[in-house]
Structure 1
Amino acid sequence: MAWMFISFMSTFNDEDFPEDAVYDIFIDETRDDHPHIPLDQEILEEAARKKAEKRYGSVGNVDPPDPIIMWWTEFTREPGKARSCGDKRCFFTNNRAFKNHKNMRAFMFYGTDFSPKDLPLPRLKHHEWALLHEESPKNNYLLCHGEALTLFNHTSTFRRESDFPITTQHLHSLQWLESDSYTKTIGQKNRYQQQDGLASVIYVHSDCDPPSDRDSFVKLLMKHVKVDSYGSCLHNKHLPHPIENPIEGMAHRDFYELISRYKFALSMENAVCKDYITEKFWRPLMVGAVPVVFGSPAIHDFFPDNNSVISILDFSSVKDLASKIKELNENDSSYDKLRTWKYTGVTNTDLLKILKEREWTPDDETTWTWGNINFVEAYECYVCKQVHETLEVEAKGDPHIPKSANWQHYGCPMPLKFDGDGKYGLFSHRNTWSTLWQNQKPVAESLRECIALGLSYCGDYLSRALKRQRDF
């Protein structure tokens, strides 16, 4: 019966089915004839091995002499390649057939795809885990909790506290930011309002009702100030051709041109998390609009200068913000003071230091230049060097204490809402996002327990642990 299941798993065409679905189909097809199927851990492991061989192929005679670093979540789709990182070399792959190779040293995970039900277990003492997650916490709330983050030895996230921070991942370069290619004069912006009927504020979002509750705030703002909303969210104005597709058109010259005609651009992230800063912040600055920002509580650290951005958090109510926008819109000299940096250059020494010391470039084909390395490859090399440091310590016979991440390496607080005055911080039991955030904490705790026990699969352990909590 066991080998019948293994054979089924290794031959089943599962491109459109998750692993659990394949398991359920097998159960349904065999239940009548075999009411008691002994699917113990050994059988599941052998089935997984067969499935991996089918998916990735056998490694055969491939025997890398260098430390092996594997993307468990297939982020780069690299089948196998040795690469130099300075004076160190590692073999990078996404082929799970190398999982038990003697030189296997580090597993890398892309945060969105990190799943408690699909991990390289049991975890061996010399196996290091590395996390890359530049995306919003809404992609995987499990990583908002310290119990899950402590599983990783190395981290690369938007948080400056991570081992390899990529906070400025969406900032192409200082030259790009200071460019005046799209910058309009005050007179031009006034004419766009008077002759073309443009509002003073632009809002372009098609990811509606996200964890940050930004749409609720913009609804309130629209009661006091005219806002042109081009995306799917609060839509009241159409994007022109050829940028009518809001996703594909975000990096189009015509989209930059459109934003540059507005005095203010609502730059609101889909999640509130320290250092989570995307193109929504940098893009208006580049084209010469003034961003009205909401997202990272530490966004002030990245302003081009002290008087270049309007932060929603600096106002006691949406009405007060609206009054400020109206005042600036009607006073040309006061408004243009917010753009002084576009004429004199960035003066924020901390931002200048980050860009000067940055060893990588954003992973963007439109701005990448020959000789530069993107942040993904740079992080791979960081992990490679860390692995070699560990090997050198082991070679000397010295005790090795592995590094461990903590909540500050990524963790984001529970999503809240805006109240009727436009003040952020309201907790609501009807908030689906906060419920999702809360539900992942016991999952993180149980996952850490499971891995510490040295189990080969955590899916069943998590299910039992969560059931006990619900029953309690």
Structure 2
Amino acid sequence: MDSNLVDKRKLQPQCNEAYSMLVKKKLFVWIFLTLVMYSLFAASYDKYIFDNLQVLNTKWKTHKNYNSNYKNMFYFDNDDFNRDSRKLILTWEPPFGAMAQNPRHCDGCYLTYDKGTASKADAIVFHFAETWDSPHILPWKDRTPKQRWVWYCMEPPWNVRYVMQKTLTPLNGVFNWTMTYRTDSDILASYSISHKPIKKTIAEMIEGKTAPALAAWVVSNCAASVRKDFVDKLTRYISIDIYGKCSGNYLCRDSVCRNQVLSKYKFYFALENSQCKDYITEKFWNMALESKSVPVVMGPSREDYELVAPPKSFIHVDDFDSVESLAEYLKLLDENDSLYGEYLRWASATESKIDWTTDTRKVEELIKRGAKGLAFSKLINHSHHVCSLCEKLNREPPDKIEVVENLDTWWYGDDYDVNNDSFSVCRPQSGPSGFPLRKFVTLAYSAIFWFLAILLTWYLFKRKILPSDNKQV
């Protein structure tokens, strides 16, 4: 037998083993580099991708809702503006795709979504959800010395921080005014609506309370929360009809129909999922007060409600040391029309001593309590929040330029830190009213990244650019 052939056969296992080690080393390097690339990508672009998806979502909603009625809002008539003394307000992105139709909706101002007007706008409104934490993405080159930048938000701090992922710290010193539901905002954007007293006596209103259950609750957020546990405990003592997708017992969406249903209940549970300073939403205004069903409230402090609500119009859960004691009080009111009727007195045009909708309160007292937004607007029933901004733009001297130096601690509280899980302006036991989506976004693009990485690896093996372990020497 040829000695060279024998030597090759003896060396074959050694060569195969050496080649196998080479393959393993190259695969290890390839996998390591892929992991490094993924880590760098995730660290650099995770939040950027999430923020862009929020903006794209808003742009999609804007596109979906857009029709010819909105044309004047997106294509500004410069000639008309140059002949007019009105202020110009630019909304940088329509909040969650919700748009106004009339450029002259507010007396004294033009409203627009045309970003081409950024350099001539008197104010630019930035909705928090579509505004990145990074201030570098904002239109600095178009900012003029007397232009006001306004930070606009109607969501509670929990949602801003943990659902929309905004730390706000990089935005300190960027904005001039705030426009939120908070009464210490520069411009008040309240959830409140006007509820004029009706031409009924208290006795007539009580006669209409014919529902078989004592109270009603409408809920669409089915996640476990403080308010759900609260209602579960309360149902042991009193009867409550629960409406909404969580119960399968749907309530009509039409306001007239909804009020007809809810007005038959003596009480309505206006329970805020996020219990934060001044966060009093449509649950209180549209569902309870509008239907003249006495609201049992869970949310900010009693003082926050008293600042904006009709006098003696609600029952606060904080006033009771237990769920059972609250239930006993509600049953007492149910059995005593005189006591119960006091909570409806504000709503009776024939029996109310004051018309609370025109009661502007003492401005000095409001300022002392830090409620500059409420003190400024005089009204808590503006049909459009931007009209309050318009009024302020026309009232304030153009040279008076203010700056929100610490947007983060103003919004989240004095002890705020990016690593904190709670804020001093919110109750620790409450939480977001929405669901954090960033982890799902991370999971989605991670799956795409690794799918492409595996596909590329397979292609390189097939083209023999990466060595294959099944090759024999």
TM-score tier (shorter): 0.5 to 0.7
**Pairwise mapping of residues 31-430 of structure 1 onto structure 2 (< 5 A)?**
65=82, 69-75=89-95, 86=108, 92-99=111-118, 101=119, 103-116=120-133, 118-121=137-140, 126=145, 127-141=147-161, 148=171, 150-167=173-190, 169-173=191-195, 175=196, 177-178=197-198, 180=200, 185-189=205-209, 192-193=210-211, 198-209=212-223, 213-233=226-246, 235=247, 237-239=249-251, 243=252, 248-249=253-254, 251=255, 253-282=256-285, 283-297=287-301, 298-306=304-312, 308-343=313-348, 344-345=351-352, 347=354, 352-353=359-360, 358=378, 361-363=381-383, 374-383=384-393, 386=396, 389-390=397-398, 393=399, 402-404=402-404, 406=406, 410-411=411-412
Deviations 1:362-399 (A, max 9, x none): 43xxxxxxxxxx3323423534654xx33xx4xxxxxx
Q: 1:313 to 1:303 in 2, by over 3 A?
A: same
5+ unaligned residues in a row in structure 2: which ranges? 1-48, 54-72, 362-373, 440-473
Q: Distance in 2 between matches of 1:338 and 1:415?
A: 37
User: Contact 2:89/2:122 (CA < 8 Å) preserved in 1?
Assistant: yes
SS of the equivalent of 1:292 reads: strand
Q: How many positions carry a matched residue from both structures?
A: 334
Residues of 1 paired with 2:248 and 2:100: CA distance? 44
Shift of 1:295: 1.4
Kindly provide the amino acid, as one letter, of the partner of residue 294 in structure 1.
M
The question of whether the paired residues in 2 share the 8 Å contact of 1:305 and 1:341 is answered with yes
- 1:340 Cα deviation from its structure 2 partner: 3.0
Task: State the TM-score, normalizing by the size of structure 2.
Answer: 0.56
Q: Name the SS for the 1:140 alignment partner.
A: helix
| SS of equivalent residue, structure 1 residue 287 | coil
- What is the DSSP-based 3-state SS (H/G/I as helix, E as strand, rest coil) of the residue aligned with 2:149? strand
Task: Find the counterpart in structure 1 of residue 63 from structure 2.
Answer: none
User: How big is each residue's C-alpha offset from its partner over 1:84-140, in whole Å with a ceiling of 9 and x where there is no partner?
Assistant: 965xxx6643222344x4x35532112333333653246857253112323444552
**CA RMSD, 1 decimal:** 4.6
TM-aligned CA deviation for residue 202 of structure 1? 0.5
The residue type paired with residue 307 of structure 2 is: D
Q: Which has the higher helix share?
A: 2
Distance apart, 1:203 and its partner CA: 0.4
CA contact (8 A) 1:228 1:236 kept: no
CA 1:324/1:299 → structure 2, altered by over 3 Å: closer, same or farther?
Answer: same
Larger radius of gyration: 2
Cα distance in 2, alignment partners of residues 19 and 337 from structure 1:
49
**Maintained 8 Å contact 2:76/2:112:** no
Counterpart Cα distance in 2 of 1:291 and 1:19: 37
Q: Flag the 1:181–1:153 CA change in 2: closer, same or farther, 3 A.
A: farther
Distance 1:261 1:216, change over 3 A: same
1:158 alignment partner AA = Y
Superimposed CA distance per residue, residues 327-379 of structure 1 (whole angstroms, 9 cap, x where no aligned partner)? 2223333322332333422648798216996468543xxxxxxxxxx332342
Q: Is the 8 A contact 1:129 1:154 kept in 2?
A: yes
Identity, % of aligned positions: 25
Q: Find the aligned partners of 2:131 and 2:74 in 1 and give their Cα distance.
A: 22
